[in-house]
Every structure is written in C-alpha cells, then in structure tokens.
Amino acid sequence: MSKYTDYDFQPFLIKAIDQLGFSEPTPIQKEMIPLILKGKSAIGQSHTGTGKTHSFLIPIVEKIIADKQEVQAVITSPTRELATQIHVELLKLIEGTEITSRLLIGGTDKKRAVDRLKVQPHIVVGTPGRIQDLVNDQALFVHTSPVLVVDEADLAFDLGFIKEIDQFASKMPEKLEMFVFSATIPEKLQPFLKKYMDSPVHIKIGDKKPVADGIDFSLVPTKSLSRKKKLLQVLEGINPYLCIIFANTRSNADSVADFLAENGFRVGRIHGDLNPRERTRMMKQVRDLEFQYIVATDLAARGIDIQGVSHVINYELPEDLEFFIHRVGRTARAGLTGQAITLYDPTEEDKIVQIEKMGIPFVHRDVKNGEWSEMKERHARKNRVKHENEFDAKAKSVVRKPKKVKPGYKRAMKWEMDKVRKRERRIKRNKKGE
C-alpha cells in the first residue's frame, strides 16, 4: 500500500489518520500493518523515529470489536513516559468512538486504577510491573486478549522487566498474536521470544544504516581544555531548538547541569534519581519548551520520546558503544535534520574507531568564539609519524644488538641509532636540495 487511503480501514480511523497529517505509511508501517491485521506474530526491528508506534496502534484499533467489552489488546512499554506517549497517540485514534482504553503505569493511584477496571477496557497500555500487579489482584483480565505488543523489548530486557511480561503473557490465550518491537534483538531475549512466538515474521528496517539520514556528525577534540569548558565553547557555536547533552552517570549529569546553570543556561535534567513526581514535572516542562538544553543519562533518556530535538551532544562517550546509536537517534526524526556533536580526547581513539565501524561518518571539527572550522583528518599526525619511521627502520637495520651484552648497552644502541637517523635525514635533505 502506498497511501493510507489504500487500506480498507473504518471511516473513523481514516479520518483520525488524516487529522494526524499522515498520508503515506513509513517502511515499518507498510510491513507491520498487514501482518497485524492478519494476526501473524512478528518481530519489528527498526531504529528510533521510523513510525513504529503507529505501525501497531493503527491495525490494533482497526481490529477492535467495540461491542465486546473485554480486553482485546495489551500493549506494554518499559517506562512510564513511553507508555504514556503511546497512550496519548492511541487516544487520538479512538477519539469520538466507543473504543475504550486504560493507561496503567507505576507512580499512579493503584486503588483508582482498580476502581476504573470494574469495566474492562478494549485496549490496555502500561508498564510491565503495573500490569502484572493488576493481573495478580484479579482486577485486570488479560485472558481475553488475543494480542500482545512488547515495545522496546531490548530496553525491557535491560531493565529486568521480561519476567513480569512472561508472567502475564502466560495467562493470555494459547494462540497469542505477539508483536515485538526493538532496535536490537539481544541473544538473551531469544528464549522468551521462542516461548510465545511460533515462526514469527522478522521485519528489519534500515538494517544497513544505523542512524537516520539528515544527521551531521561533528567530532570535537577537547584539546587542552576540560570537557566542561569545551562544552561551553560548543554551546556558544550552536543555537538549538532543543539540545540533549548525554553523560554516563547520574552524578556526572547533575555536575554538568549545575555547571551550565552557573554559566547562565536554563537546563533540564533527566536521570534515574528523579522520583516519579519530579520526572513527570520535568517532562511537562520539556514539552512546554521551558528548556533549550537537557542533560540526560542513557537509560533514563532512552525510555522517553522527546519531540523537536535539533542537537545531541555526547559530553562523554557511552560505556556501551551501542548506546551511541540510541543517543544520536534522538535527532533528525520524522524527516528533519539534526546535529550530533561528540567530545573526545586522544585516549578515546579506539572507541571512536569502533563507532566509525558502526557506520558513523564523523567530520573532525573545532569551535572557538562561536565559529566552527573543519580540522585536518585526525589521523594526519599518525600518518606523519609513520612517514618518519623510515629512519627508524634504517637505524634498526644498521644498529644490531650485540651478541654479548654489557651494562649500558641499550643506551649505547640508542646513541648509535640516533646517529643513523640524523645521517639519513641529512642525506634526504641534501637530495631534495639538488
């Protein structure tokens, strides 16, 4: 299908899709929508910003039988923010219909949730822990639902939530239609997938391209400056709509945020030390565009979807380099362009090389007084040293280690080799002068 109007959706759904401004399905949507409509279990593997959420919401809404007041689909996401965002998008699709939904997440009034479940919703969206709690309390009846969506499965695994999903999935129908979405499929996730999925279709979108088109990658050396001072120079050279600055630990994130605040920047922060109320308030401030800059840690930021990110700054390289892809994938979404700026020092050269092997095309740049400039390719110095090694090779071929060594022989050899190097350089200079 090349357009949404080519699908035989119900009129209310066509209207809702049109109001969202969607006309043509994205690649992941073209692949997943027909599979979900047919009830064929599938794994959707795509990177962030590919339209994944609507690839399962749209067909699920289409399949709901409004006259049957029972749970017909369970959608689980590993964090409260992601679950909330999915539910917000779902409400846009079912507005004005008789289809009902419930958002079930931690950090909210559980008793109120139980009261509202006296009438079971058609669609449940929630975090694994809260869904499992309500199933255990016999407040939520998932045994009627033929559909289970596991969103951000790799993150759910990283955060230890697969056990809870397994517990309530085991209470669902034997012929379960399961749809798993993930940027990566870790090997340790395979036993869970095999337990519930019989020969699923595996859809991979953009497998050869780790990140979206439209991202410009700047690699910026810290040189003699501290990272914080270099970060200030970088911020002087950009004027972002919204910029996320990534640090590796909660303490580092707080330290960077405090430093920027001291230098006059209004900065938000997102990390695991925020309690649910602080986190909710912070996300509201982010959505209300109260901050131009946000300092975040990997796991905390990966569990949210922030709109309008024009710049990503890697204040430090992630310990797990796979997170580099998740970080930069926050920008250049929905066909927009973005900037990804990475600070580094020479001791991190090996990590930079590994990231380049992942398909990241760095451009070596520097910024000073708000002005950007391209630098020499960072291997230039290394290449020059290799050129000089011809003198070392000559010296090693002429000066041999003596068969019988005496105290101080290493110093004597070094002195002899230096003499050979100087002689060879002199010969080369004379040849050039002829």
Per-residue exposure over 48-62, b if at least 16 CB sit within 10 Å of its own CB, e if not: bbbbbbbbbbbbbbb
93 contacts: CB under 8 Å, gap ≥ 6: 13, 16, 17, 57, 58, 61
Q: Is the pLDDT of residue 229 over 60?
A: yes
Looking at residue 81, its amino acid is E
411 contacts: CB under 8 Å, gap ≥ 6: none
In angstroms, rounded to a whole number, what is the distance separating the alpha carbons of residues 73 and 57?
10
Superfamily of domain 215-374: P-loop containing nucleotide triphosphate hydrolases (3.40.50.300)
**What per-residue confidence (pLDDT) applies to 21?**
86
7 contacts: CB under 8 Å, gap ≥ 6: 1, 33
Q: Between residues 395 and 15, which one has the greater pLDDT?
A: 15
In angstroms, rounded to a whole number, what is the distance separating the alpha carbons of residues 51 and 26?
6
Provide the pairing of β-strand 293-296 with 267-270.
parallel
- Percent of the chain at pLDDT > 90 equals 57
Kindly list the strands in the beta sheet with 101-104, ordered across the sheet, starting from the edge strand earlier in the chain: 101-104, 123-126, 73-76, 147-150, 177-182, 42-45, 201-204
pLDDT single digits (tens) 277-335? 888 888 889 888 899 999 999 876 666 778 889 999 999 999 878 788 888 988 987 77
Q: Is the pLDDT of residue 387 over 50?
A: no
Work out the burial of residue 213: count CB atoms within 10 Å of its CB; fewer than 13 is exposed, 13-18 middle, 19 or more buried.
exposed
In angstroms, rounded to a whole number, what is the distance separating the alpha carbons of residues 137 and 89?
28
Residue bearing tokens 């036993």: 191
Domain range 4-204, its CATH number among 3.40.50.11890, 3.30.930.10, 3.40.630.40, 3.40.50.300:
3.40.50.300
**What per-residue confidence (pLDDT) applies to 341?**
97
In angstroms, rounded to a whole number, what is the distance separating the alpha carbons of residues 189 and 169?
15
Q: Are 363 and 242 in contact (CB under 8 A)?
A: no
pTM over 0.85: no
Alpha-carbon Rg for the chain, nearest whole angstrom, is: 28
pLDDT single digits (tens) 238-250? 999 999 999 999 9
345 contacts: CB under 8 Å, gap ≥ 6: 221, 222
The residue ranges of DSSP E strands in 121-183, in sequence order, are: 123-126, 147-150, 177-182
DSSP string for residues in 222-266: -TTS-HHHHHHHHHHT---SSEEEE-SSHHHHHHHHHHHHHTT--
In angstroms, rounded to a whole number, what is the distance separating the alpha carbons of residues 341 and 218?
5
Per-residue exposure over 310-319, b if at least 16 CB sit within 10 Å of its own CB, e if not: bbbbbbbbbe
- Percent of the chain at pLDDT > 70 equals 91
In angstroms, rounded to a whole number, what is the distance separating the alpha carbons of residues 140 and 168?
10
**What per-residue confidence (pLDDT) applies to 385?**
42
20 contacts: CB under 8 Å, gap ≥ 6: 54, 92
Q: Is the pLDDT of residue 94 over 70?
A: yes
Q: Is the pLDDT of residue 384 over 50?
A: no
pLDDT single digits (tens) 34-48? 999 999 999 998 766
pLDDT single digits (tens) 338-357? 999 999 998 898 889 889 88
Structure confidence at residue 389 as a pLDDT band (50, 70, 90): low
Q: What is the mean pLDDT of residues 151-164?
A: 89
Looking at residue 67, its amino acid is D
**What per-residue confidence (pLDDT) applies to 278?**
86
Q: Which of 154-158, 220-224, 346-350 has the highest mean pLDDT?
A: 220-224
